[in-house]
């Protein structure tokens, strides 16, 4: 007869039979009855009424039976606390049993009985067991402290169990150490406010020693704990890394992943260019790859973690593309993850292979997988420019298979490809349009509509196509509706004559017949815009869009950093911070250590506190950013806060849209933002984000917002900006536009270089009798690509006889057109009265950048490389009779760097370099004869056009005070 009989269904009256059997004298019958009880318990039947009878069986000195009784007890003690006390005596007796197995069993079970009265009686035996001679008992007792803490924290403190537990960290038996570590970690995680577990150097040392000897699980506990230790400095971090790297060869994947976690965390503290880091990278790759030949479930955990590692440090696995190729019978979750990692590792070297693979995948059967493969092809096109055409052709092939979901997915990615490579692949629009009718998913429909609207001028029947969509407007998904509205407005702006009717129809529809406020408001704004100023509408709606970034689906960097601290754990599998899926308890947010701050961090309490404050601030910032992005994702368009912030974001990274004048009010620009959102703008947002932490690191004080938007604040308002650092020579302001020419507006200005930025400083004076407003400024294309970093913003009207100072920061990466003279700049300024055009000269020394220093050897090399006939000689006059040191300083302030200084034939030789904003280097040799005011000046550059300007600059600087 086998034990499976116990699982058979219960008959009526069986409980009474069991009761009788439990009280039987015969051991065999008792045992049979107990097994039946446990089996019933397992399948969920209530056998709690047998409690007293089971307790009676406890006295038996049969270990196997005893364990069954204990199992029963653990399950039902809570429901019968009064009866459970009956067991206390037996426990107490067992804790003194000569057999260590029985002692351990008793203390183990007692800890699992969550009845207060029993817990009280647990203390004494537990104390004894923590000091038991047998390691098996001690290791069980160590865990029992954690159990007790879960039931009654105060008791653990009062009884001093924490200290006893800490003593076990120095136990001779590694398994005891491991369990003690596990228990202490758990306790300190539950109560982060109390310094339960002081992880310091000596403790970590002990743990590292135990690491070599304890069981695989013990190694996991220890490594997970070490991951929480903040190393003192880079040397400390490095030495721990060295001691744990051998664990990468362990057969247990949990040991490997926990080792990887510690390494990834501590790597933050070590100079990334050091040989050590490079070596470690080499050592990390093979074990990670090996994890892919484990059980699929572990592979999945490993792949989710590799996904994080690749995002954080892509170098580690850059040569391992092939191992992520999908196998035919991989489980779907492994396939999807591998695909994700493949895309992240794609580059121009392996694109051919990857593309061939993706093509295979796109013909598989699993719909999700195929979709992801198609999307991946599009991502490759965006990421690897040389392969874009091949990718597009592949997508076209796939579209021609007419498999519905493949077509839809392809259209969604093609929209992104259009965003990345505007005006390149429009020839395929015809093929896309053929599939218009088969699109039934909102994202695909919205993408197609976007394409039609964006390229309306090239699609002859764009109006018919859009009109077709409009018929079922009310049944469309919100995303599609918004997109359709925008597309029709775009169409109207491009072909106003034929589409007037259509645009009226859609505007009426969205403003009068829809309940969706986003849609309605957007409709109103378009309407108003179109009716007041069609020209402005054109500039807003058809504005050039910023390019989309190469990388997609990246995790937000602060989240990524947090997840790196959780490698191997559930958080790393879900790619979510623990507080999103763990209940109740306060969870400490884990952070990667950072290299710069490390020297101060543990010096004294005050610095520690300030550090903590800073860290808290960071958390706030990151969560802010996170939620903004979330809003953006979910609500997208009109959520006011998110869209205005978006604007700010856009401005910070603005490079393309200098064309947008000051016409935009907030709402309008939010439309712009939205517009680009649908076009796949989501990613650049993430990118701006990536740059934020750097800001955060460099600026350590001030409130969060200042930190985040510091540079923006600097140039948003026209007033009250002060620059403190010593600056380059600034010429006095001269009048650029006279009041006469400017119809009452007088503009005087100059250029300066402040904080390594080019600043155009102007005074606007109103000499007319009426106030002026609606200022806007535009620079014509010029030799050095100067464009305003931000549009001119003058918030208040300029009243008669008022003067306001304006500072406008320029950057030098705009479109270039050669001017004559080179430094000529054409400016247009508009106000409510008129538009004024004028010229001014940008002094060339404003364009000297601060990092123009090169080393001697390069100087020599470059000097020799430039042909003799490019050399220009001149006699400079040292009017102020400056000493050589003063002269050097004066030049240095203006970013003219002295590379070296020597004396040849009693003449002082200075060798200097200048680098212009556009990267041109100019090399200069000054020969100074003591006592003689004439300096022999000689200059070499690959672009001799600038030579005269440089000479002027020298004269200007030397003659200045």
Partner 1 sequence: MIGGVFIYNHKGEVLISRVYRDDIGRNAVDAFRVNVIHARQQSRFPVVNIARTSFFYTKRSNIWLCAVAKQNINAAMVFEFLGKMIDIMQSYFGKISEENIKNNFVLIYELLDEILDFGYPQNSDTGVLKSFITQQGVRPITREEQTNVTSAVTGQIGWRREGIKYRRNELFLDVIESVNLLMSQQGQVLSTHVAGRVVMKSYLSGMPECKFGINDKITVDNRTKNPLDSTNINNNSTTNGSTNPSTTTTKTAIAIDDCQFHQCVKLSKFESEHSISFIPPDGEFELMRYRTTKDISLPFRVIPLVREIGRTKMEVKVVVKSNFKPTLIGQKIEIRIPTPSNTCDVQLLCMKGKAKYKSSDNAIVWKMKRMGGMKESQLSAEIELLPNDKKKWNRPPISMNFEVPFAPSGFKVRYLKVFEHKLNYSDSDTVKWVRYIGKSGLYETRS
Q: What's the min distance (Å) between Cβ of 143 and partner 1?
A: 5
Q: Which is nearer to partner 1, 179 or 917 (CB)?
A: 179
Minimum distance of partner 1 from residue 325's CB (angstroms): 5
CB of 593 to partner 1, least distance (A): 20
> Of 205, 363, 861, 870, which lies in the binding site for partner 1, with binding defined by CB under 8 A?
363
From candidates 131, 235, 327, 933, binder to partner 1 by CB under 8 A: 327
Q: Retrieve residue 281's tokens.
A: 């990278």
Whole-angstrom distance, CA of residue 447 vs CA of residue 441 = 10
Would you say 390 and 396 are in contact if contact means Cβ atoms under 8 Å apart?
no
Residue 218 or 814: the one with the smaller Cβ distance to partner 1 is: 218
Q: Please report whether residue 279 would count as binding partner 1 according to CB under 8 A.
A: no
Single out the residue of 296, 422, 710, 944 in contact with partner 1 (rule: CB under 8 A).
Answer: 296
288 touches 306 (CB < 8 A): yes
Token code pair at residue 750: 């100059």
**Which CB atom, from 163 or from 583, has the smaller least distance to partner 1?**
583
Three-class secondary structure of residue 87 per DSSP: helix
Q: How far is the CB of 210 from partner 1 (least distance, A)?
A: 10
| Interface with partner 1 (CB under 8 A), residue from 207, 429, 571, 958 | 571
Decide if residue 276 touches partner 1 (CB under 8 A): no
Count of residues in the chain: 961
Stretch that binds partner 1, among 282-290, 704-712, 730-738, 899-907 (CB under 8 A): 282-290
Which of 284-292, 392-400, 616-624, 703-711 is the region at the interface with partner 1 (rule: CB under 8 A)? Answer: 284-292
**DSSP alpha helix (H) spans, 403-473:** 404-420, 429-434, 442-454, 462-471
80, 73 contact by CB (below 8 A)? no
Residues facing 923 on adjacent strands: 913, 940
Residue 115 or 629: the one with the smaller Cβ distance to partner 1 is 115
∠314-571-338 over CA atoms, to 5°? 45
Cβ atoms < 10 Å from Cβ of 570: 13
- How far, in whole angstroms, is CA 817 from its chain's centroid? 37
Per CB under 8 A, contacts with partner 1 among 899-938 are none
Q: Which of residues 7-66 bind partner 1 (CB under 8 A)?
A: 7, 35, 38-39, 42-44, 62-64
Task: Check whether the bond before 927 is cis (ω within 30° of 0).
Answer: no
Binding segment toward partner 1, per CB under 8 A, in 121-129, 571-579, 786-794, 882-890: 571-579
Q: In the complex, what is the shortest distance from the CB of residue 145 to partner 1, in angstroms, rounded to a whole number?
A: 10
Q: Which stretch binds partner 1 (CB under 8 A): 132-140, 162-170, 192-200, 621-629?
A: 132-140
The 166-185 contact track toward partner 1, x by CB under 8 A, reads: -------xxxx--x--x---
Structure tokens at 759: 């600043």
Distance CA 213, CA 229 (A): 21
Q: Rule CB under 8 A: which of 193-232 touch partner 1?
A: 212-217, 220-221, 224
**Interaction with partner 1 in 580-609: which residues (CB under 8 A)?**
581-583, 587
Angle at 831 between CA 825 and CA 835, to 5 degrees: 50
Our finding on whether 856 is near partner 1 (CB under 8 A) is no
Check: CB of residue 961 under 8 Å from CB of residue 943: no
Q: Is 241 in the site for partner 1 (CB under 8 A)?
A: no
Q: Provide the minimum distance between the beta carbon of 642 and partner 1 in the complex, in angstroms, as a whole number.
A: 28
Q: Nearest distance from residue 64's CB to partner 1, in Å?
A: 7
325 binds partner 1 (CB under 8 A): yes
Distance CA 506, CA 500 (A): 10
Dihedral sign from CA coordinates of 844, 846, 847, 851: positive
- What tokens does 72 get? 């029963």
- List the interface residues with partner 1, window 95-114 (CB under 8 A): 98-101, 104-105, 108, 111-112, 114
Query: In the set 117, 235, 282, 322, which binds partner 1 (CB under 8 A)?
Result: 322
Minimum Å distance from CB 777 to partner 1?
A: 54
For residues 783-802, which are near partner 1 according to CB under 8 A? none
Closest CB 14 distance from partner 1, rounded Å: 18
In the list 73, 91, 122, 135, the residue contacting partner 1 (rule: CB under 8 A) is 135
Residue 266 beta carbon to partner 1: minimum distance, rounded to whole angstroms: 17
Q: How far is the CB of 384 from partner 1 (least distance, A)?
A: 20
Asked if 277 contacts 242 with a C-beta cutoff of 8 angstroms, the reply is no
Residue pointed to by tokens 């206390």: 88
Q: How far is the CB of 356 from partner 1 (least distance, A)?
A: 8
Nearest-5° Cα angle at 665, 663 to 668? 95
The span of 48-56, 247-255, 702-710, 898-906 binding partner 1 (CB under 8 A) equals: 247-255
CA separation (Å) from 588 to 224, 263, 459, 591, 619? 15, 21, 56, 9, 11
d(Cα 119, Cα 88) in Å, to the nearest integer?
10
Dist CA 867 CA 495 (whole Å): 56
CB nearer to partner 1: pick between 106 and 829:
106
Closer residue to partner 1, CB minimum distance, 125 or 135: 135
Q: Is 323 in the site for partner 1 (CB under 8 A)?
A: yes
In the numeric block, the tokens 């010593």 are attached to: 726
User: Of residues 626-685, which lie at the interface with partner 1 (CB under 8 A)?
Assistant: none
Q: How many residues bind partner 1 (CB under 8 A)?
A: 111
Which of 53, 76, 87, 140 touches partner 1 (CB under 8 A)? Answer: 140
- Which residues in 329-358 contact partner 1 (CB under 8 A)? 329, 331-333, 353, 357
- Positive or negative, the CA dihedral 96, 97, 99, 101 is negative
Inter-residue long-range contacts of 903-907, CB under 8 Å, 24+ positions, other chains counted: 906/930
Binding to partner 1 by CB under 8 A, coded x per residue (else -) over 366-385, reads --x-----------------
Cα 366 from Cα 339, distance rounded (Å): 13
- The residue (of 249 and 943) whose beta carbon lies closer to partner 1 is 249
Q: What angle do CA 943, 947, 953 make, to 5 degrees?
A: 135
Q: Which of residues 684-723 bind partner 1 (CB under 8 A)?
A: none
| Shortest Å, Cβ 626 to partner 1 | 18
Q: How far is the CB of 846 from partner 1 (least distance, A)?
A: 55
- Three-state secondary-structure class, residue 459: coil
- Which among 249-257, 382-390, 618-626, 716-724 is the span making contact with partner 1, rule CB under 8 A? 249-257
**Measured from the CB atom, is 401 or 883 closer to partner 1?**
401
- CA–CA distance, 16 with 23 (Å, rounded to integer): 11
Instruction: Write a three-state SS string for 284-305.
Output: HHHHHHHHHHCCHHHHHHHHHH
Helix (H, G, I), strand (E, B) or coil at 751: strand
235/282 with CB nearer partner 1: 282
Per CB under 8 A, 297 contacts partner 1 = yes
Nearer to partner 1, 243 or 495 (CB): 243
Q: Does 399 participate in binding partner 1 (rule CB under 8 A)? A: no
Rounded to the nearest 10 degrees, the angle between the axes of helix 682-698 and helix 605-634 is 170
Tokens standing for residue 943: 């672009």
Q: Segment near partner 1 (CB under 8 A), from 81-89, 241-249, 619-627, 924-932?
A: 241-249
Binding of partner 1 by 143 (CB under 8 A): yes
Question: CB of 675 within 8 A of CB of 541?
Answer: yes
| Contact criterion met (CB below 8 Å) for 913 and 942 | no
Report how far residue 310's alpha carbon sits from residue 468's, in angstroms, rounded to the nearest whole number: 45
- Distance of alpha carbon 709 from alpha carbon 688, whole angstroms: 12
Q: Which is nearer to partner 1, 182 or 772 (CB)?
A: 182
């Amino acid at each position: 007869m086998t034990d499976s009989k116990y699982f058979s269904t219960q008959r009526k009256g069986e409980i009474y039979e069991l009761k009788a059997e439990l009280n039987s004298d015969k051991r065999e019958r008792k045992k049979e009855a107990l097994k039946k009880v446990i089996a019933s318990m397992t399948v969920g039947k209530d056998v709690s009424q047998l409690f007293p009878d089971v307790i009676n069986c406890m006295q038996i000195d049969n270990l196997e039976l005893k364990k069954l009784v204990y199992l029963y007890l653990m399950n039902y003690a809570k429901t019968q606390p009064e009866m459970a006390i009956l067991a206390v005596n037996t426990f107490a007796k067992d804790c003194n049993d000569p057999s260590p197995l029985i002692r351990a069993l008793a203390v183990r079970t007692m800890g699992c009985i969550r009845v207060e009265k029993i817990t009280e009686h647990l203390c004494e035996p537990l104390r004894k067991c923590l000091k038991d001679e047998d390691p098996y008992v001690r290791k069980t007792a160590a865990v029992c402290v954690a159990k007790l803490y879960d039931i009654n924290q105060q008791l653990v403190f009062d009884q001093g169990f924490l200290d006893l537990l800490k003593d076990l960290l120095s136990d001779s038996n590694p398994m005891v150490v491991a369990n003690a570590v596990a228990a202490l970690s758990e306790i300190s995680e539950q109560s982060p406010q109390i310094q339960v577990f002081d992880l310091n150097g000596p403790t970590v040392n002990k743990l590292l020693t135990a690491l070599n000897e304890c069981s695989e699980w013990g190694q996991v506990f220890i490594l997970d704990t070490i991951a929480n230790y903040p190393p003192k400095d880079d040397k400390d971090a490095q030495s721990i890394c060295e001691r744990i790297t051998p664990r990468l060869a362990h057969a247990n994947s949990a040991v490997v992943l926990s080792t990887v976690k510690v390494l990834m965390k501590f790597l933050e503290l070590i100079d990334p260019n050091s040989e050590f880091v490079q070596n470690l990278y080499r050592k990390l790759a093979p074990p990670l790859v090996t994890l892919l030949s484990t059980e699929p479930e572990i592979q999945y955990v490993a792949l989710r973690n590799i996904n994080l590692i690749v995002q954080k440090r892509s170098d580690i696995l850059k040569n391992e593309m092939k191992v992520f190729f999908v196998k035919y019978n991989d489980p779907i979750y492994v396939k999807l993850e591998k695909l994700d990692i493949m895309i992240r590792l794609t580059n121009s070297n392996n694109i051919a292979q990857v593309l061939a693979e993706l093509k295979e995948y796109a013909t598989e059967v699993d719909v999700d997988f195929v979709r992801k493969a198609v999307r991946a092809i599009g991502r490759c096109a965006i990421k690897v420019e040389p392969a874009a055409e091949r990718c597009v052709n592949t997508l076209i092939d796939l579209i021609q298979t007419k498999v519905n979901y493949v077509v839809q997915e392809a259209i969604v990615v093609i929209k992104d490809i259009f965003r990345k490579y505007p005006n390149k692949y429009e020839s395929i629009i015809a093929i896309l349009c053929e599939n218009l009718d088969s699109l039934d998913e909102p994202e695909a429909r919205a993408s197609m509509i976007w394409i039609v609207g964006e390229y309306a001028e090239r699609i002859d029947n764009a109006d018919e196509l859009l009109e077709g969509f409009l018929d079922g407007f009310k049944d469309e998904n919100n995303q599609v509706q918004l997109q359709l509205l925008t597309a029709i407005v775009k169409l109207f702006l491009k072909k106003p004559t034929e589409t007037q009717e259509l645009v009226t129809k859609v505007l009426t529809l969205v403003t009068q017949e829809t309940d969706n406020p986003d849609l309605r408001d957007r409709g109103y704004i378009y309407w108003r815009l179109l009716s007041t100023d069609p020209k402005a509408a054109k500039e807003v709606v058809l504005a050039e869009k910023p390019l989309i970034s190469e990388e997609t689906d990246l995790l937000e960097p602060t989240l990524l950093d947090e997840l790196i601290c959780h490698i191997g754990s559930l958080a790393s599998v879900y790619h979510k911070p623990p507080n999103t899926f763990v209940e109740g308890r306060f969870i400490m947010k884990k952070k990667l250590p950072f290299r710069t701050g490390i020297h101060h961090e543990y010096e004294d309490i005050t610095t520690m506190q300030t550090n903590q404050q800073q860290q808290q601030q960071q958390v706030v910032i990151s969560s802010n950013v996170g939620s903004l992005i979330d809003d953006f994702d979910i609500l997208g368009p009109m959520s006011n806060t998110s869209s205005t912030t978006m604007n700010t974001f856009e401005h910070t990274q603005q490079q393309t849209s200098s064309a947008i004048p000051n016409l935009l009010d907030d709402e309008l620009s939010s439309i712009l933002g939205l517009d680009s959102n649908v076009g796949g703008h989501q990613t650049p947002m993430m990118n701006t984000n990536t740059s934020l932490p750097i800001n955060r690191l460099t600026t350590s004080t001030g409130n969060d917002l200042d930190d985040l938007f510091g540079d923006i604040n600097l140039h948003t308002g026209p007033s009250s900006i002060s620059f403190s650092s010593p600056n380059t020579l600034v010429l006095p302001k001269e009048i650029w536009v006279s009041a006469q020419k400017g119809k009452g507006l007088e503009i005087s200005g100059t250029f300066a270089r402040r904080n390594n930025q080019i600043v155009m400083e102007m005074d606007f004076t109103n000499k007319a009798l009426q106030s002026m407003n609606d200022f806007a400024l535009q620079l014509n294309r010029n030799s050095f690509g100067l464009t305003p970093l931000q549009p001119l913003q003058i918030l208040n009207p300029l009243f008669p006889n008022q003067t306001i100072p304006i500072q406008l920061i320029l950057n030098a990466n705009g479109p270039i057109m050669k001017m004559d003279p080179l430094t000529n700049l054409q400016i247009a300024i508009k106000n409510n009265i008129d538009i004024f055009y004028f010229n001014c000269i940008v002094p060339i020394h404003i364009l000297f950048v601060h990092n123009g220093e090169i080393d001697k050897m390069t100087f020599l090399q470059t000097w020799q490389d430039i042909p003799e006939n490019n050399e220009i000689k001149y006699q400079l006059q040292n009017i102020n009779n400056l000493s050589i040191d003063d002269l050097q300083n004066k030049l240095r302030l203006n970013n003219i760097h002295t590379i070296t200084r020597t004396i040849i034939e009693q003449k002082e030789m200075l060798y200097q370099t200048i680098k212009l904003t556009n990267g041109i280097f100019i090399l200069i040799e000054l020969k100074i004869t003591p006592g003689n005011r004439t300096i022999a000046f000689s200059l070499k550059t690959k672009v001799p056009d600038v030579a005269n300007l440089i000479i002027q600059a020298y004269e200007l600087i030397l003659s200045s005070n």
